[in-house]
Amino acid sequence: YYLAVDLTGNHHDAEDLAQDVFIRAYRHLHQFRGDGSAYGWLHRITVNTFLNSKRSKIRSITTPFADNESVPEQRAESPLPDRQSESNELNRRIQSALETLSDRERAAFVLRHYKDQTMAEIAESLDIAVGTVKSLLFRSTRKMRVALADVATDWRDEA
């Protein structure tokens, strides 16, 4: 579910995606060979379902973390109001930068930086070569740096 939230950007679409994934997994359970983990198999189905839905334009994907939602794991404490608004603005900027990435770049970036997957795991999830994963991550990281350059400068100025 959290991978679906990271990919789609909002809880409503993530619920739809997660439901589609589990239906597909159930229907194709007989095809699971057991070579890898069930976790990896579900990740791969999730990413492929997301990419397929983007390609076919079935679902309109909205801005990640719309309406100032935050990633569920980040809701541990309520920071000071000014820190909360800074955090909301930073999340908005990051999500805006993520939207500039292609679907495959975004999937690779999310799997690497949000889900801490290895290159091999990402390659398996996306059904591509490790070299392609490296290329996608290089391009996506470069695009994110350009899009967030002023944020990094502001952060360095405050330190």
- Tens digits of residue pLDDT in 35-61: 777 888 888 888 888 888 776 543 343
Q: Tens of pLDDT along 103-139?
A: 899 999 998 988 888 999 899 888 899 999 999 999 9
Rounded mean pLDDT, 81-98? 76
CA 12 → CA 37, 89, 141, 157, distances in Å? 27, 22, 27, 37
Query: Dihedral, CA atoms, 157, 91, 93, 12, nearest 10 degrees?
Result: 180
Q: Is the pLDDT of residue 68 over 50?
A: no
What is the biggest distance separating any 2 CA atoms in the chain, rounded to whole angstroms?
Answer: 56
Q: What is the rounded CA–CA span in Å between residue 30 and residue 51?
A: 23
Residue 18 per-residue DSSP state: H
